[in-house]
Amino acid sequence: MLSLAVAFVCLIPLGGTHPPRLPYFDKYIHVFLFASLTVAWVRGFSKQNTILFLQQNAKKSAAIFCFSYGVLIEILQELMQLGRAFELLDIAADALGVVLSILILKVLRMP
């Protein structure tokens, strides 16, 4: 469900006509969304019992999935033409969120 919410927030233009007061505010949102998404996928992969590889490699698998998902969303933004555009900085922010969440999970020694 969180994956769909992230796609919705990233694909549908939600902003008003006023620029945000904080520069690059949307990039902070990307970091937060993809950090949250990565934690959710790590937890899901580590708790499932069907695919042993995903369970044993939950962090790596979630990181690859979430980064790829971010790239896919950026490509869809460009293709769907709903008022959003492909941005390399969004991909960088998504990747930062993925990396930060994996680092935090490792420091906290969470699966």
Q: Is 17 domain-assigned?
A: no
Q: Which two tokens stand for residue 29?
A: 């949102």
Q: Which two tokens stand for residue 8?
A: 């919705």
Per-residue pLDDT at 36 exceeds 90: yes
Q: Is 11 domain-assigned?
A: no
H/E run at residue 91: helix 88-107
The residues near 67 (Cβ < 8 Å, ≥ 6 apart) are 94, 95, 98
Task: Kindly state the average pLDDT of the residues 52-79.
Answer: 94
Q: Is 79 domain-assigned?
A: yes
pLDDT tens digit sequence for 13-24:
866 656 667 777
pTM above 0.85, yes or no: yes
Structural domain count, the chain: 1
The residue range of the domain holding 30 is: 25-107
Percentages helix, strand, coil for the chain (3-state, rounded to 5) are: 75, 0, 25
Q: Is 8 domain-assigned?
A: no
Q: By C-alpha distance, which of 79, 104, 77 is closest to 91?
A: 77
